[in-house]
Amino acid sequence: MPWSVLQTFSGASDGNYDEGAPPKELPLALRHLAWQGFEFFNPRCWSKTYRSGAKIIRKTQVFRDYVFVQVGDRWRAINSTTGVVGLIMSEPEKPATVADQFIQALMGRRDDDGIVKLDGSRFKIGEAVRLRSGSSWELGIYDGQRDRERSYVLMKWLGAERRVEVREDNLVAA
């Protein structure tokens, strides 16, 4: 059976909620999908954030507000499921499909707790790095990854160490 993508409500009318906080409707949507007999995959990963200087590590969705679901002829029932905005469609009467190899690759990266291990950075925490783009903050210390494309770097600026977020492809080893 093919895999498709459905969008869930984020729990806020403007689509904003605290990073890492579970959307209010997501658990309800997943429970209702299971009751209806749909097989779904909600890939989750560890996310590190800082709030008031404290490091907070939480489980978050890999694809925020999106869940993979196996659909068949009953795909219309998904669109009326509590907590679901709707299926992503390729045509008016045909849900878009996702390659099974992609889903299997994501599932294969899960650890014993079901958490998807994302590609690691090419840098190690504490490693000296340089920014490729011209800036007065050229040299820094790698301090982890926010997601697959963004990294944190500790940089000296105006006599103080600051944690900045940069695109990983703008970093090179020092």
Per run of 10 residues, the mean pLDDT along the chain (length 174 residues) is: 86 47 74 95 83 81 89 91 90 91 90 80 80 66 75 77 80 80
Domain edge (last residue) among 77, 108, 139: 108
> Do 148 and 93 reside in the same domain of the chain?
no
Q: Does the predicted TM-score (pTM) go above 0.85? A: no
Residue 96 lies in a domain: yes
User: Are 111 and 118 within 8 A, CB to CB?
Assistant: no
Structure tokens at 142: 């790698």
> Do 27 and 92 reside in the same domain of the chain?
yes
> Do 82 and 136 reside in the same domain of the chain?
no
Residue 83 belongs to what domain range?
3-108
Residue 107 DSSP SS3: helix
What 8-state DSSP symbol labels residue 25? T
Q: In angstroms, how far is CA 108 from the centroid of its own chain?
A: 17
For residue 120, the model assigns a pLDDT of 66
For residue 97, the model assigns a pLDDT of 92
As a residue count, the chain comes to: 174
CA angle 143, 131, 155 (to 5 degrees): 45
Residue 159 lies in a domain: yes
Residue 114 lies in a domain: no
- The count of structural domains within the chain is 2
> Do 90 and 8 reside in the same domain of the chain?
yes
For residue 67, the model assigns a pLDDT of 94
Residue 117 lies in a domain: no
Q: Residue 77: CB partners within 8 Å, gap ≥ 6?
A: 36
